[in-house]
């Protein structure tokens, strides 16, 4: 089992899409267990295969902080047919990433996500047509107002793609709102990477926006182009793959927030 996720989690802890690209080149392993379950563990819960706890690619124990998340991971293993396809197991990949690349590097991973605060998707606006300008404002402005009012982070907007520097105080204020536990930080990083926006990830993590609203906000421009020019099947396929990882990370953020709340 250990080598099954080596390329997915061991070599690409922070980028779920790179993990998927690597795994699609790897041969699938045969299912070797009869059933998956959940057991109590020190500090949380473990996912078991025929009663034996799963481990990370390097052999570290995987301890999940919530039973519901552990049960969802077990369900991924239970859903596998004759072969095990890690591409269809986003929560398992996230769990491996937490253990292999986040637990001992929480601040580093959070800082990597915080880099997006300097050039967030929400800062760069279309100048025309008016309908697109209005749609971006509809999806993005409430999040910027929330960041200003609740987080104390006031950012500068720009038209087009020319880079605009952001106030250090705004970046620090938004960064202070990041979660601190490894699972939430890992999930926040995934959402940030997939959406191109740390502010969208923060709005999701704090419950200001739900996952459907965040996903729609991340694709305002893309959806506009689809309406005008039609669907590109290759682009749609990549988006569907990203959505799988996004939903897994969003579920972790929601579950952990509800437990803390």
Segment 110-166, tens digit of pLDDT: 999 999 999 999 999 999 999 999 999 999 999 999 999 999 999 999 998 888 999
CB distance 246 to 211 below 8 Å: yes
Q: Which of these three, 102, 130, 149, is where a domain ends? A: 102
Residue 19, pLDDT above cutoff 60: no
Please give the residue range of the domain that contains residue 85.
Answer: 2-102
Residue 191, pLDDT above cutoff 50: yes
Same-domain check for residues 112 and 206 = yes
Segment 105-123, tens digit of pLDDT: 999 999 999 999 999 999 9
Segment 52-71, tens digit of pLDDT: 999 998 899 999 999 999 99
48 DSSP β-pair partners:
37, 53
Q: What does the mean pLDDT of the chain come to?
A: 90
Residue 260, pLDDT above cutoff 80: no
Q: Which of these three, 54, 85, 102, is where a domain ends? A: 102
CA–CA gap between residue 29 and residue 16 (Å, rounded): 20
Same-domain check for residues 182 and 120 = yes
Same-domain check for residues 157 and 239 = yes
Same-domain check for residues 137 and 34 = no
Q: How confident is the model at residue 197 (pLDDT cuts 50, 70, 90)?
A: very high
Which residues touch 164 (CB under 8 Å, ≥6 apart)? 123, 156, 157, 158
Residue 175, pLDDT above cutoff 50: yes
Residue 17, pLDDT above cutoff 60: no
Residue 227's pLDDT is what? Answer: 93
Residue 27's pLDDT is what? Answer: 81
Same-domain check for residues 144 and 93 = no
Q: What is the pTM of this model?
A: 0.89
Q: How much is the average pLDDT of 13-38?
A: 72
Compute CA distances 82 → 30, 32, 85, whole Å. 6, 9, 10
Peptide bond into 129 cis (omega under 30): yes
Counting the structural domains of the chain, the total is 2
Beta carbons within 10 angstroms of residue 145's beta carbon: 11
């Amino acid at each position: 089992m250990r080598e099954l996720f080596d390329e997915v989690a061991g070599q690409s802890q922070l980028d779920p899409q790179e993990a998927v690209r690597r795994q699609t080149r790897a041969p699938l392993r045969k299912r070797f267990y009869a059933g998956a379950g959940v057991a109590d563990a020190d500090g949380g819960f473990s996912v078991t295969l025929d009663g034996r706890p799963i481990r990370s690619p390097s052999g570290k124990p995987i301890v999940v902080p919530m039973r519901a998340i552990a049960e969802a991971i077990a369900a991924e293993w239970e859903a596998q047919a004759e072969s095990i396809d890690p591409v269809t197991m986003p929560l398992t990949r996230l769990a491996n990433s937490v253990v292999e690349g986040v637990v001992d590097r929480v601040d580093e991973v959070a800082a990597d996500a915080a880099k997006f605060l300097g050039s967030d998707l929400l800062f760069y606006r279309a100048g025309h047509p008016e309908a697109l300008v209005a749609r971006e404002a509809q999806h993005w402005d409430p999040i910027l107002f929330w960041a200003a009012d609740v987080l104390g982070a006031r950012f500068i907007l720009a038209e087009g793609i020319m880079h605009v520097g952001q106030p250090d105080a705004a970046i620090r204020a938004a960064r202070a709102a990041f979660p601190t536990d490894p699972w939430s930080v890992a999930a926040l990083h995934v959402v940030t990477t997939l959406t191109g926006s740390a502010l969208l990830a923060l709005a999701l993590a704090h419950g200001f926006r739900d996952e459907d609203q965040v996903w729609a906000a991340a694709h305002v421009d893309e959806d506009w182009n689809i309406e005008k020019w039609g669907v590109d099947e290759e682009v749609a396929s990549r988006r569907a793959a990203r959505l799988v990882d996004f939903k897994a990370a969003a579920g972790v953020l929601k579950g952990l927030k509800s437990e803390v709340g």
